[in-house]
A and B are shown apart, each in its own frame.
Chain A
């Protein structure tokens, strides 16, 4: 029986989803596993939705893209984006989401204001294992808004959902980010993990 972990990372442009997928890929390569990732790039640079597919396996993987119902883990950088990608999650999968919403600017006055809470309720009712992470608090604790990605990764890893230990992610961080940002990211990784188990 081959081992395979399929991860969807959903956010909006500028939140650092690409580094998160890079770190999982790095950890997989280090472990001698096969990995395929796919990002949406383009309009994403202007704050639009971004979804990364990350597929890890000990056997060859064909497609870089998952079909609906195939993801073991869904990491949402924003509750609405998590809901939007929910169709990818398999029954009994794990959702790790940031609690804070990022509202679209162009909400028409006639429509109801965008509520992150409604999105979280939707996630809560979907039958998946759910961890809601207070990303803003972790970022404040670490002192950088840029560590949301690694904090969420730490939360998913802390739950054992990614198939890699926090130590493996520490190594991947050391290999992937510039030296002066290593400590900050490792602290965020552990803060995320603690937050998920709390």
Chain B
């Protein structure tokens, strides 16, 4: 493998590096632009799992890392919000096996509800952050992240962005790592039990680790200097660095790979050698603020370039200080619910009944667009249930009765179950209705499995959560399952009936995603055949 030049995406490069570096388990939750990492890791022969959500994924990853196994945890940027609780305290612990957490950010929101800049998390949680500029660095930094993680016993964040994830550039892989020691539990209570007595010294240890990593970064960090004229010096990170190289090839450029903790002395020396210093970074002014706080005089970008992705043209404008209005790109063809999509029936019914719809994250968010326009809120994974309940609590009765929460199957498992607990525990006076739009897959991100499908990441069978049984056991008063192929009228009648009752209700509308249906049938058939074969074997007389 070594020496061969492969064209691959940043996502695939992370997966390949994880394989070569001997990662024992990859875990995560699907989300554009991170999804392909674990799928590729699985395809290459790595062990990869989807967790119900990012918090659980990181917790599983902490367990494997505590046990001494190299670990990869993947998620999109907003997923890190869900995983933030374990993240901040994982930083205090000492881990044994290297843990690289991929945060795939989406500046420009190609497929996300916000464009938050997760570089803030590195500083907030006090964790090292690596930011590759292309697929080669995605490969190298995955490996480097595991090494940093093991050397300082600290989780490392690998921050990718959409263009690094989904651009294909050449990668020259290394030889695979030598066989690693088998995971084994070594007790170290003060390093892993974060009660105040142990967490107080742990916080001091964390700051000491960061100081050491910063020192290492000054001399040996993955930071690259491109020689150029002293008139213009550029400090850049991530994909913005390659745009800058093209926008100003004559400039002297320092590209920072380990962006937290920063090599401030090196940057200061660089700054002293140039006449003008400009920081080129996508998203928030994180790097420029850090340089200014350290007393390094640097120019940032005008506020208008905080929004959206950067590209060569925008970097040229930043360097020229150009704040004139940018040409508005023509609007693209909007996405839409597929022809034959089972969600269409549901949104027709909700529109016809003039429901107030608290929506959620998934394909079905497209129900907000014409011809349905049948969604009134959408914030984050799982929010539909809480938001719907909140509206029910305070709206006048005639409006409260029209409030419905709509959530997909994968999103329900991700963070809707606690919403049901809230509904049963604090029911509004008018009751409430939750619709689970169960299309049997995580459709939006490209048809991934989840705990409600009964299949693993590689589509082989496993345990399956029944939403209706779960709702009943949690104490929801009315639980119904409707095949949405049953037609709009039946569904409409049922919804109208339930809205009229001052009770808690949950309806599962069940019909496979039209795109996934042939594959689902294939997986089900394969599972049935395997089961039959196993039964056949069991029936053989022992001998």
Contacts and interface: CB of A to CB of B under 8 A. Distances in A.
Interface of A: 12-13, 25-26, 29, 34-49, 61-68, 70, 80-81, 83-84, 87, 102, 104-106, 108
A62 B170 contact: no
A41 B32 contact: yes
B333 A41 contact: no
B242 interface: yes
A48 B242 CA distance: 27
B333 A102 contact: yes
Contacts of B242: 62-64
A25 B168 CA distance: 9
Contacts of B332: 48-49, 81, 84
B148 to A, nearest CB: 27
Nearest to A61: B246
B18 interface: no
Nearest to B311: A65
Contacts of B371: 105-106
Contact of A47 (B170, B330, B335): B335
Contacts of B32: 41-42
B313 A41 contact: no
A102 B339 CA distance: 14
Contacts of B316: 67
Nearest to A66: B312
9 contacts: A35-B170, A37-B168, A46-B338, A47-B338, A49-B332, A62-B249, A64-B167, A67-B313, A106-B334
B3 interface: no
Contacts of B245: 62-63
A47 B333 contact: yes
A155 B330 CA distance: 26
Contact of A104 (B246, B327, B333): B333
A30 to B, nearest CB: 10
A48 B330 contact: no
B177 interface: no
Nearest to A38: B167
B7 interface: yes
B369 A106 contact: yes
B325 interface: no
A83 B370 contact: no
Q: Which are the 6 A-B pairs with shortest beta-carbon distances?
A: A42-B111, A49-B332, A46-B335, A48-B335, A67-B313, A62-B245
Determine which residue in B134, B239, B313, B333 has the highest number of CB atoms from chain A within 10 A of its CB, and name it.
B333
B333 A46 contact: no
A88 to B, nearest CB: 10
A131 to B, nearest CB: 22
Given A104-B334, A104-B336, 18 more contacts: A29-B5, A29-B7, A29-B170, A36-B134, A38-B167, A40-B166, A41-B33, A42-B110, A46-B337, A48-B333, A64-B163, A64-B242, A65-B311, A67-B313, A83-B330, A84-B330, A84-B332, A106-B334
Contacts of B239: 63-64
B163 A106 contact: no
B110 A43 contact: yes
Majority secondary structure of chain B interface residues (helix, strand, loop or mixed): loop
A145 B40 CA distance: 28
A8 to B, nearest CB: 13
A108 B373 CA distance: 13
Contacts of A44: 335
Interface string B123-139: 00000000000100000
B446 interface: yes
B398 to A, nearest CB: 30
B330 A46 contact: no
A63 B170 contact: no
A69 B33 CA distance: 27
A87 B333 contact: no
Interface string B167-180: 11110000000000
A80 B331 CA distance: 11
Contacts of B337: 46
B363 interface: yes
Contacts of B333: 12, 47-49, 80-81, 102, 104
B166 A41 contact: yes
A36 B242 CA distance: 12
B242 to A, nearest CB: 4
A38 B332 CA distance: 17
A181 to B, nearest CB: 18
B213 interface: no
B161 to A, nearest CB: 11
B313 A105 contact: no
A47 B336 contact: yes
Contacts of A45: 335, 444, 446
A20 B239 CA distance: 24
Contacts of B369: 106
A175 B249 CA distance: 35
A108 B370 CA distance: 8
B85 to A, nearest CB: 27
Nearest to A12: B333
A118 B330 CA distance: 15
B45 interface: no
A28 to B, nearest CB: 8
Given A41-B110, A63-B245, A68 B168 contact: no
Nearest to A46: B335
A36 B167 contact: yes
Given A36-B168, A64-B169, A105 B336 contact: yes
B166 A62 contact: no
B543 interface: no
Contacts of A81: 332-333
Contacts of B330: 83-84
A108 B333 CA distance: 13
